[in-house]
């Protein structure tokens, strides 16, 4: 890792941590930064997931007012994402690396579509299923699988699921999302540390930036122009998906 690589990853981590607290956009910033430093898609993915654990730690510190009185929800949904994350990580480690490289352009493009559709998904909050019902828990579990396998856009999906189920202001729901997704990253990171090609020299600067971004993100999330951020990152993600598709299928 050069000094420029370290600076890039710290800066990308801060931006990714802030983006994560807005709408679950962290991987759409941090994953491409890891690719720029020369990591392969698989190594970048497992390194990214390992570092993302620190954004959940930072968000938990920065979101303490929003998390007050929600420990049971965090425990319930965090357990579901933990189980799902274990399944997703196992799939990533057992399937061929070529399968991941071919899937990732589709996953990123899908994340972009989901990102742009997020406002409409959240507008459906008036029709609430039971938050402790099997349908909601199954959806959270499925999102945990995706978070453990790849993760880009997974926070968006998790926020959409929780927002239509939990009768709380969106800032409080977002806080649950930030911490619950960390459980998926925790179990996936443990598996990747033992069996995956984690690049620890890249984890350290990225994790430092994610921790800072996770702490300060909840403080500025109410002032950040989320629509502009959503549009810019969505377009950049589509460009990244096209580039990766050219390499994977060309």
Instruction: Give the number of domains in the chain.
Output: 1
**Domain range spanning residue 130?**
3-249
Residue 52 near residue 208 (C-beta atoms within 8 A): no
Residue 75's pLDDT is 93
Residue 118 near residue 162 (C-beta atoms within 8 A): no
Residue 56's pLDDT is 81
**How many Å apart are CA 183 and CA 104, to the nearest integer?**
22
10-residue mean pLDDT series, the chain (250 residues)? 92 86 73 91 91 83 84 93 94 83 76 70 65 87 89 76 80 85 91 92 94 78 63 70 74
Residue 107's pLDDT is 74
pTM of the model: 0.78
Residue 115's pLDDT is 64
Nearest to 31 by CA among 241, 231, 201, 173: 241
Please report where in the chains the tokens 């802030």 appear, as a residue. 18
Residue 147's pLDDT is 87
**How many Å apart are CA 149 and CA 152, to the nearest integer?**
10
For the chain, what is the total number of helices (H) and then of strands (E)? 11, 0
């Amino acid at each position: 890792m050069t000094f420029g690589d370290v600076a890039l990853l710290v800066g990308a981590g801060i931006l990714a941590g802030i983006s994560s607290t807005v709408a679950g956009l962290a991987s759409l910033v941090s994953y491409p930064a890891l690719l720029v430093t020369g990591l392969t898609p698989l190594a970048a993915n497992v390194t990214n997931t390992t570092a993302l654990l620190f954004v959940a730690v930072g968000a938990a510190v920065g979101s303490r007012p929003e998390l007050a009185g929600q420990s049971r929800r965090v425990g319930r949904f965090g357990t579901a994402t933990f189980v799902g994350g274990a399944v997703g990580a196992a799939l990533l480690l057992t399937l061929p690396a070529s399968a991941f490289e071919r899937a990732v352009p589709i996953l990123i493009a899908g994340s972009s579509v989901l990102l742009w559709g997020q406002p409409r998904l959240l507008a459906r909050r008036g029709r609430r299923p039971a938050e402790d019902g099997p349908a909601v828990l199954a959806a959270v579990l499925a999102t945990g699988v995706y978070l453990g396998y790849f993760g880009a856009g997974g926070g968006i999906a998790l926020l959409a699921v929780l927002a239509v189920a939990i009768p709380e202001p969106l800032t409080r729901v977002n806080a649950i999302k930030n911490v619950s997704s960390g459980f998926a990253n925790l179990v996936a990171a443990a598996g990747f540390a033992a069996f995956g090609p984690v690049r620890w020299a890249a984890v350290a600067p990225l994790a430092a930036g994610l921790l800072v971004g996770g702490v300060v993100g909840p403080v500025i999330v109410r002032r950040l122009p989320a629509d502009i951020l959503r549009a810019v990152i969505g377009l950049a993600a589509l460009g990244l998906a096209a580039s990766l598709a050219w390499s994977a299928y060309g």
